[in-house]
Structure 1
Amino acid sequence: DWPSDFPYTGADDFKRLDEAVDTEFYKLPKLVYHIDEGAVAALTHFYDESIPDGSDVLDICSSWVSHFPRDFPLRMRSIVGTGISDLELQCNDQLSGHVQADLNVAPRLPFPDRSFDVVTCCVSFDYLTRPLDVMREVRRVLRPGGSVLLSQSNRCFFTKAVGVWTRDMSDAAHLRVLGTYIHFAGGLSPPAATDISASGTGTNDPMYLVSAKR
């Protein structure tokens, strides 16, 4: 059950321990995986099974790697990335194009209405200080029937994550937060949470998807 009004309106809900400008935090490219190999493999498999060939894909909060299947650039019509580090985006060889954008400064996606079939965001929505505005932008740039796929594990740069995220670090709470953003953005189907975590020796990080359709 969802509340009648957007629940995150407190003074500390979208504050962070480190309120310095994000472009300074990413001034030196990270160029690291933020999830372990098992979680990466699970996410890549999910993308392979869930994103139709010939799609126009937008990867928001993107970086030097998007974890798409290696043949996606050949199978998709386009894969566009937007993220905070232009240098990291230049290193991402799966993108057919990219636009640098700090969504915490200006929560607007620099693309026309109904431009994409799929919008992905990999383990990054926890850093957005105006996530409802960004989710409304996601809805705007999606075509009718298009999907938003938010992946999430249990790691983060704690000082850069917002208060609604760090207040309760359980996976269930995080999935609820993401679902709340989708619900209150309007114009999207009810959010669905899916556990796609890998299993077996050497796998540690969980991997979840919160998804919806326009």
Structure 2
Amino acid sequence: MILNPHQRTKLDSRSDDLFYAAPRFVTHVDDFFLARLTDLYRQYLQPQMRVLDLMSSWVSHLPPELSFQEVVGHGMNGAELARNPRLDRYFVQNLNEELALPLEDASFNAVLMAVSVQYLQYPEATFTEIARILKPQGVVIVSFSNRMFFEKAIQAWREGNEGDRVQLVQTYINSIPALKVIETHLPRPWSCLGFTDPFYAVVGQKQPV
């Protein structure tokens, strides 16, 4: 296992269902971050793909010019997901309590996880499920910044610096035999001055059998 029991703990140990019960119709990172995220999606997503937006909300930041075969959303708040115009369907599930995704094997071309990876208490299980539902050569794109609900981030995330967090996400992906990190994006120099939210992303790909 990648994490020990202490590293999985949160300052707020109440069920995540309670924390996310009220909808939040806000974005948690700035426009600069979101523009880079959409550009990264342009690099990997193509028309008519099947896309899973994991740990999503009321906006998916997908390139507006791209049409997909289907976009499935997952999150913790049904009201937020219902307002997301890019989702064809969605489901609500607490990944820290229900580890298996209710989705078919090898059914998605891409899985997206934006500014949410820090809340996973069992990332080994989540990324195993991501590998299961991805088609061969499918990609998982994990993006994050230095912003978070601190009380809901796991100890392993809280105690590390930003470089440690990049390595942690890389380890999450590379620890799954079917997945391999193929690209890592780091902040541009001026982001370190605090003028914008730093943009980090790790891209993994499902390897052919």
Normalising to structure 1: TM-score of the pair? 0.90
User: How many residue pairs were aligned?
Assistant: 205
| Matched residue, 1:123 | 115
1:50 CA drift (Å): 1.9
Q: Deviations over 1:182-203 (max 9, x none)?
A: 1112211245311265969x95
Unaligned 5+ runs, structure 1: 1-5
The match for 1:195 among 146, 171, 186 is: 186
The match for 1:21 among 2, 5, 15 is: 15
Report if the CA contact (8 A) 2:185-2:200 is conserved: yes
Q: Structure 1 residue 45 and structure 2 residue 39: aligned?
A: yes
Q: How far apart, CA to CA, are the structure 2 residues paired with 1:48 and 1:190?
A: 18
Q: How far apart, CA to CA, are the structure 2 residues paired with 1:40 and 1:119?
A: 17
| Matched residue, 1:212 | 204
The match for 2:97 among 96, 101, 105 is: 105
Q: Deviations over 1:6-63 (max 9, x none)?
A: 4422x31100000111111111111110100110111111112221221100010011
| Matched residue, 2:169 | 178
Report if the CA contact (8 A) 1:82-1:89 is conserved: yes
Aligned AA for 2:77? S
1:108 CA drift (Å): 1.4
> RMSD over aligned Cα, in angstroms?
1.9
**Equivalent position SS for 1:13:** helix
Q: Structure 1 residue 140 and structure 2 residue 120: aligned?
A: no
Q: How far apart, CA to CA, are the structure 2 residues paired with 1:109 and 1:198?
A: 38
Normalising to structure 2: TM-score of the pair? 0.92
Report if the CA contact (8 A) 1:42-1:196 is conserved: no
Unaligned 5+ runs, structure 2: none
Report if the CA contact (8 A) 1:82-1:99 is conserved: yes
| Matched residue, 1:3 | none
Report if the CA contact (8 A) 2:2-2:172 is conserved: no
Deviates more, 1:188-197 or 1:53-62: 188-197
1:70 CA drift (Å): 2.1
Query: How many percent identity over aligned positions?
Result: 33
**Equivalent position SS for 2:175:** helix
| Matched residue, 1:80 | 72
1:105 CA drift (Å): 1.0
Change (3 A) 1:71 1:195: same
1:81 CA drift (Å): 0.5
Change (3 A) 1:79 1:203: farther
Report if the CA contact (8 A) 1:131-1:181 is conserved: yes
* Misfit runs of 4+, over 2 Å: 195-200
1:64 CA drift (Å): 0.7
Q: Deviations over 1:65-90 (max 9, x none)?
A: 11112233xx2111110111111100
Aligned AA for 1:88? E
Q: Structure 1 residue 30 and structure 2 residue 24: aligned?
A: yes
The match for 2:59 among 41, 55, 65 is: 65
Q: How far apart, CA to CA, are the structure 1 residues paired with 2:169 and 2:94?
A: 20
